[in-house]
Amino acid sequence: MSKKSSGAAKRYRESFFAKNKLNYALTIITTIGSSILSVVLASFLKGLMDLAGGGNMEQLKRFFILTIALLVGYGVDFLILRTVKYNFMKKAVEGYRNKAFADITARSIGSFGKDNSSNYISALTNDVTSIENNYLLVQFDLLEQILTAVLALGLMIYYSWSMTLVVIVLCILPIAVSMVFGSKVAKQEQEISDRNAGFMAMVKDLLSGFGVVKSFQAQTEATALYGEKNHELEQIKCKRRKTTQLIQIISMMAGFLVQMGVFIFGAYLAIEGQITAGVVVAFVQMMNYILSPINQLPVLLANRKAAIGLMEKLEACCEESNEKERQETVDNVAEGIRFEHVSFSYEEEKTVLKDVSVNFEAGKSYAIVGGSGSGKSTMLNLIMGSYPEYEGSVTMGDKELKKVNTDSIFDLVSVIQQNVFIFDDTIRRNICMFKEFPDELVESAAVRAGLKNLIRENGWDYDCGEGGSHLSGGEKQRIAIARSLLRKSQVLLADEATSALDAETADSVTNAILDIEGLTRLVVTHKLEEKTLTRFDGIVVMRNGRVEEIGTFEELMEKKEYFYSLYQVSRE
């Protein structure tokens, strides 16, 4: 995903607060309450200690009541805090996840393809957990720790400025430890998160390629690869744990030194009669309030920054695809689809389409043939509006496609690919693709796509299986055709849709496409069979990114040029 970032992920931060402001405000208030109560506790300790040094029963009774009040205060504050904080978290994380998914699905097909799918999975799973813990939850910890430390410092100055000065000097040691190790932990944390993402991507590849791995008998290699990544991940986690442990020990010792220092200097001042024993006790308690943010702040802040980075990354990559400049809509293909002097490259160095000019008339059928890598699929990609950065012009119904919103293109155009997306549900729901249609329409689409037999034998509720595992390749293709008929698409693009099928099934699927009247059909195929090719209104022959020849089967055969030689080779 690109690194370009904007507005420090402002849109995502806003998604946390949608209909969640009250929870947020109450969480802040109760967190502040909890900070204040912690400092009050320290002043109580001082009072009690001083009482022990010379007070009366009446004062002790009052203290007892105050202590109960403090305890009740703590309890009430904690109960409210617990409710509002976790309600806030629930809504914030849910809102963020919805927003992230909406942004990802808003990407155009072209820009979606630029990122690896495991990046998206990571953005919606691991990254959310990190944002949850390191950004959302931590903000309240940060507030509580910093506020408590500031209040404690204020109370310290009030009790004794000279003791406070000692505390500040003694804190230099733990601050140094924290600064040295804090960034190291954060870096290791980041590395763990990266390794985790890499590990996930690999597991996904290995499991989704299970069949291939098995049939190539590559289990040993796959296991070794897995083991290696697994080892790397645990290695860095072990390193992080060791660093954390080291910091804990050093901080503990530094903390102990500081506390002893406070005790000793406090005792000296108490003996001198400058402060009471109660002040010493209060100082020792408040030292904890100051040491804890010193130890934790660098790590918390670094992790928080990393979590913001995750949001920025997602925001930047989703913004790239926003279609602000593509405001026009296309609503018909009456004028056909026209390529004029189109040149295009996916990557700068390599031009994939070179000065392509071709006119696909509305309602006719065209075969697009040519060697592998000659640019056939790329032509279809441009018609889908996936890559608007081409030179020249591609028009559909007189609209320039780079200015047209892709949603309006998808209303007109359907694509059938070699891999048909089938989900584990009934045939009917697979044809309807999550939407509702009247029964007659679904039936007529299924019949025109040649699914009559399958449905007669198994019924509409036949379960297609995960990824369509209960269907044959031809049946999946026919479901794809039925889908586009049902959507009343005006243009049907088929990209090597039948290449995985046996010759007979391929023919019958192609014929089903050719039989659909009135639809503009572009069929990319490498099967050069006379009996199907003669049925097309035109054949576009591609070679190295250029249109080499255009004509009907008879015309091209008579010319005896490139297509003729391709045809001859395919028959050998």
Q: Which stretch binds Mg ion (CB under 5 A): 137-145, 266-274, 324-332, 371-379?
A: 371-379
Closest distance between ligand ADP and the C-beta of residue 378, in Å?
A: 3
SS3 491: strand
Nearer to Mg ion, 190 or 377 (CB): 377
Q: Does 377 help bind Mg ion (rule: CB under 5 A)?
A: yes
Closest distance between Mg ion and the C-beta of residue 376, in Å?
A: 5
Cα distances (Å, whole numbers) of residue 185 to 201, 242, 311: 24, 10, 21
Closest distance between Mg ion and the C-beta of residue 372, in Å?
A: 7
Tokens of 548: 């080499």
CA distance 318 to 300: 27
Closest alpha carbon to 470 in 479, 255, 341, 130: 479
- CB of 262 within 8 A of CB of 284? yes
Nearer to ligand ADP, 108 or 374 (CB): 374
Tokens of 269: 């001042």
- The partner in contact with residue 378, picked from ligand ADP, Mg ion, none with C-beta cut-offs of 5 to 8 angstroms by kind, is ligand ADP
CA distance 337 to 112: 25
- The partner in contact with residue 374, picked from Mg ion, ligand ADP, none with C-beta cut-offs of 5 to 8 angstroms by kind, is ligand ADP
Closest distance between ligand ADP and the C-beta of residue 417, in Å?
A: 11
Closest distance between Mg ion and the C-beta of residue 415, in Å?
A: 12
Nearer to Mg ion, 373 or 465 (CB): 373
Task: Collect all residues with Cβ–Cβ distance below 8 Å to 44 and sequence separation of at least 6.
Answer: 63, 66, 67, 70
Tokens of 299: 């790590």
- The partner in contact with residue 347, picked from ligand ADP, Mg ion, none with C-beta cut-offs of 5 to 8 angstroms by kind, is ligand ADP
Closest distance between ligand ADP and the C-beta of residue 542, in Å?
A: 6
Nearer to ligand ADP, 42 or 356 (CB): 356
Secondary structure (H, E, C), 256-287: HHHHHHHHHHHHHHHHCCCCCHHHHHHHHHHH
- The partner in contact with residue 118, picked from ligand ADP, Mg ion, none with C-beta cut-offs of 5 to 8 angstroms by kind, is none
Nearer to ligand ADP, 170 or 541 (CB): 541
CA distance 230 to 202: 10
- The partner in contact with residue 47, picked from Mg ion, ligand ADP, none with C-beta cut-offs of 5 to 8 angstroms by kind, is none
Closest distance between ligand ADP and the C-beta of residue 348, in Å?
A: 11
CA distance 491 to 533: 19
Closest distance between Mg ion and the C-beta of residue 380, in Å?
A: 8
Nearer to ligand ADP, 282 or 542 (CB): 542
Task: Collect all residues with Cβ–Cβ distance below 8 Å to 33 and sequence separation of at least 6.
Answer: 73, 77, 81
- The partner in contact with residue 17, picked from Mg ion, ligand ADP, none with C-beta cut-offs of 5 to 8 angstroms by kind, is none
Nearer to ligand ADP, 485 or 493 (CB): 493
CA distance 302 to 516: 61
- The partner in contact with residue 91, picked from Mg ion, ligand ADP, none with C-beta cut-offs of 5 to 8 angstroms by kind, is none
- The partner in contact with residue 75, picked from ligand ADP, Mg ion, none with C-beta cut-offs of 5 to 8 angstroms by kind, is none
| Backbone angles phi and psi of 335, in degrees to 5 | -85, 5
Closest distance between ligand ADP and the C-beta of residue 386, in Å?
A: 9
Nearer to ligand ADP, 13 or 402 (CB): 402
| Backbone angles phi and psi of 423, in degrees to 5 | -105, 165
Closest distance between ligand ADP and the C-beta of residue 481, in Å?
A: 20
- The partner in contact with residue 111, picked from Mg ion, ligand ADP, none with C-beta cut-offs of 5 to 8 angstroms by kind, is none
Question: Which residues from 157-216 bind Mg ion, rule CB under 5 A?
Answer: none
Compute CA 106 distance to the chain's CA centroid, rounded to the nearest angstrom: 12
- The partner in contact with residue 266, picked from Mg ion, ligand ADP, none with C-beta cut-offs of 5 to 8 angstroms by kind, is none
Task: Count the Cβ atoms, other than its own, within 10 Å of residue 466.
Answer: 11
H/E stretch holding 54: helix 21-54
Nearer to ligand ADP, 373 or 465 (CB): 373
Task: Count the Cβ atoms, other than its own, within 10 Å of residue 533.
Answer: 22
DSSP conformation class of 404: B
Question: Which residues from 252-291 bind Mg ion, rule CB under 5 A?
Answer: none
Return residues touching ligand ADP (CB under 6 A): 346-347, 352, 370, 372-378
- The partner in contact with residue 375, picked from Mg ion, ligand ADP, none with C-beta cut-offs of 5 to 8 angstroms by kind, is ligand ADP
CA distance 549 to 567: 13
Please identify which residue in the block is written with the tokens 């995750």. 310
Nearer to Mg ion, 67 or 377 (CB): 377
| Backbone angles phi and psi of 301, in degrees to 5 | -70, -40
Closest distance between ligand ADP and the C-beta of residue 375, in Å?
A: 4
Which residue ranges make up the site for Mg ion (CB under 5 A)? 377
